[in-house]
Structure 1
Amino acid sequence: MSAPTAARPVTAERTGRRIEEVLDRLAATGEGAAAAEELVRSLMELYGTALARVVELLDPAPGGPLAELLADDLVASLLVLHDLHPEDRDTRIARALDGVHDPRLEVVGFEEHSGTLRLRARAGGGCGCGSAGDAARAAETALAGLAPEVRAVDVETTPAGPTLLQIGTAPTGAR
């Protein structure tokens, strides 16, 4: 097996999509789909059991080895995949959205039945920060590995507040 290249690093999102594409292709052609799915389930069980042991052996103290692993997106996504991630859904959603680096986003709620995360984006006031659609795509990408229970992101935009004018003590250039 070859090592990942710097140009195409391994990510949970990319690998998950590739696995789904291969399984869909196998199901469409009927060539060994059942065997491939059994192989994937067996490998998942093996890796899941091994990861569970790793998590048990690590010190959960803040700043400890487990905290370092949780900070790694790829490792965290594997822990989520195997239902081993120690953080609850809301904490994982907050962690993923912190990675979006958009201070305008705030969580409004999560709809369990549809898997829709509702976000509110305060209008950017012409700062060039991007649209609600951009924010939704960035959030979906960030959430893919850490919160797979989020199947859709709905971003509502609130209007920007009034523009504040700078009032000085002297006219411009009067100094």
Structure 2
Amino acid sequence: MTAERTGLRIQEALDRLDALADRGAREAGEQLARDLMEFYHEGLARIVEALPPPALTALLDDPAVAGLLVLHDLHPEDTAARIGRALAALPEPVGLAGFDPDTGTARLLRTGGGCGCSEQDIEALLACHAPEVTATVVEREPRLLQIATRPGTPAEAAR
């Protein structure tokens, strides 16, 4: 389960508490979620500190691990590196052309022939690795048109 999906399930549970009981039940549920988050943060921080760098680096490709580390502000990479890591997991070449932290928009550049990856596939990977990305603009790399004479034409015979 992804961090995004888990967050949605927690919000749904809090909404049910709100609907079934008084305001105090929702506040108690929110406090429970905060306490659990703090507990998990402390445990994960100790694990991250204890892991040798190669072991931690190997774990960063796992979307669930990456999502937890980002959620708890323990991921060792900056936003651009995390976006690059997510894009590297795609079956076709997609590069980062730019990221605007003010709007959360990542400009992406498809550089391959295309494998049929949808923008939803790309956004799902980015949600785990870089939840700061709230919008994507996907562009295609312009292809060069080469104009040449055909073999056997007078222009080629003159060479």
Structure 1 partner of 2:6: 15
Other structure's SS at 1:149 match: coil
RMSD: 2.7
Q: Whose helix fraction is larger, Structure 1's or Structure 2's?
A: 2
Distance 1:122 1:56 in 2: 37
Question: Do structure 1's residue 102 and structure 2's residue 95 form an aligned pair?
Answer: no
Distance 1:23 1:154 in 2: 33
* Unaligned ranges ≥5, structure 2: 152-159
Distance 1:118 1:21, change over 3 A: farther
Name the amino acid aligned to 1:93.
I
Q: Percent identity?
A: 48
Structure 2 partner of 1:56: 49
**TM-score normalised by structure 2 residue count:** 0.78
Per-residue CA deviation, residues 2-26 of structure 1 (Å, 9 max, x unaligned), is xxxxxxxx33333233223333444
The offset of 1:65, in angstroms, is 2.1
Other structure's SS at 1:19 match: helix
Name the amino acid aligned to 1:141.
A
Distance 2:105 2:17 in 1: 30
Contact 2:70/2:129, CA 8 A, preserved across alignment:
yes
Other structure's SS at 2:103 match: coil
Structure 1 partner of 2:145: 162
Distance 1:69 1:114, change over 3 A: same
* Unaligned ranges ≥5, structure 1: 1-9, 169-175
The offset of 1:108, in angstroms, is 1.5
Per-residue CA deviation, residues 123-164 of structure 1 (Å, 9 max, x unaligned), is 84xx6x337xx2x21211001111111111111334544389
Distance 2:95 2:55 in 1: 30
Name the amino acid aligned to 2:13.
V
Distance 1:38 1:163 in 2: 64
The offset of 1:78, in angstroms, is 0.6
Name the amino acid aligned to 1:80.
V
Distance 2:82 2:47 in 1: 20
Other structure's SS at 1:92 match: helix
